[in-house]
């Protein structure tokens, strides 16, 4: 089972690595990081790079697609190379998925037209501009369309566990969850706009160039 994670300059690290940690544990899975051109792609902070071993046109029919987000997605919204690859990959994929603002690329490719979808809370309005119906949920599934979108950054782990269950069953997904010891107990309860104070929300909006 070939799993494709396209990366690009200024992607968010956990958007890609979180799902990788889950999906790479599926039986028979091989995870491929790919890009328009092979080579290192740096995260939005510039402090970390992942290497794309394949070009997009070297893997056109993956079984699973996971599109991470990050500030680099903004520069790709009109990039027909990545958008056309997404359209073609989705024609044969079992599931096409996204994390954070990766859903903006799915929407720009026309894959979310009329569908409920989610993304980072700061980017929800942008989804509507591209024909999707934005909702504030952690994970949004459309089995009939073979599409799953997830909210910001850490939600990609939830999405990947959801996907693992759809592919290999709940028991294996639970085993993967235990294997990576994913049992969040954050020191603060401010991980969504429904829980954070107005002051914290304002702080994040003001610093969105660094925090989202």
Q: What is the pTM of this model?
A: 0.96
What is the spatial distance between Cα 169 and Cα 84, in angstroms, rounded to a whole number? 31
pLDDT at 209: 57
d(CA 20, CA 141): 19
Distance CA 8, CA 51 (A): 10
Helix (H, G, I), strand (E, B) or coil at 36: coil
Q: Is 100 a catalytic residue?
A: yes
Out of 13, 89, 100, 104, the active site residue is 100
In this prediction, residue 211 carries a pLDDT of 43
Residues of the chain short of pLDDT 50, as ranges, are 210-212
Q: What is residue 210's predicted lDDT score, i.e. its pLDDT?
A: 47
- If we measure between CA atoms, which residue out of 97, 104, 109 comes closest to residue 149? 97
| Predicted local confidence at residue 150, as pLDDT | 98
Domains assigned to the chain: 2-185 (3.40.50.880)
Predicted local distance difference test score (pLDDT) of residue 212: 47
């Amino acid at each position: 089972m070939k799993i494709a994670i396209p990366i690009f300059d200024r992607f968010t690290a956990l958007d890609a690595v979180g799902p990788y940690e889950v999906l790479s544990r599926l039986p028979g899975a091989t995870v491929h990081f790919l890009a328009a051109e092979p080579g290192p792609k740096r995260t939005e902070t510039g402090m970390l790079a992942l290497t794309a071993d394949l070009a997009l046109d070297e893997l056109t029919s993956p079984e699973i697609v996971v599109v991470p987000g990050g500030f680099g997605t903004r520069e790709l919204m009109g990039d027909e190379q990545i958008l056309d690859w997404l359209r073609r990959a989705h024609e044969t994929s079992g599931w096409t998925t996204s994390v954070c603002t990766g859903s903006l690329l799915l929407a720009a490719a026309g894959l979310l037209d009329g569908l409920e979808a989610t993304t980072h809370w700061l980017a929800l309005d942008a989804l509507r501009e591209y024909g999707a119906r934005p909702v504030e949920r952690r994970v949004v599934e459309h089995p009939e369309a073979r599409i799953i979108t997830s909210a910001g950054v850490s939600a990609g782990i939830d999405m990947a566990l959801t996907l693992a269950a759809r592919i290999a069953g709940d028991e294996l997904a639970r085993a993967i969850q235990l294997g990576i010891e994913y049992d969040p107990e954050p020191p603060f309860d401010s991980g969504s706009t429904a829980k954070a104070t107005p002051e914290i929300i304002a702080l994040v909006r003001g610093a969105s160039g660094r925090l989202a």
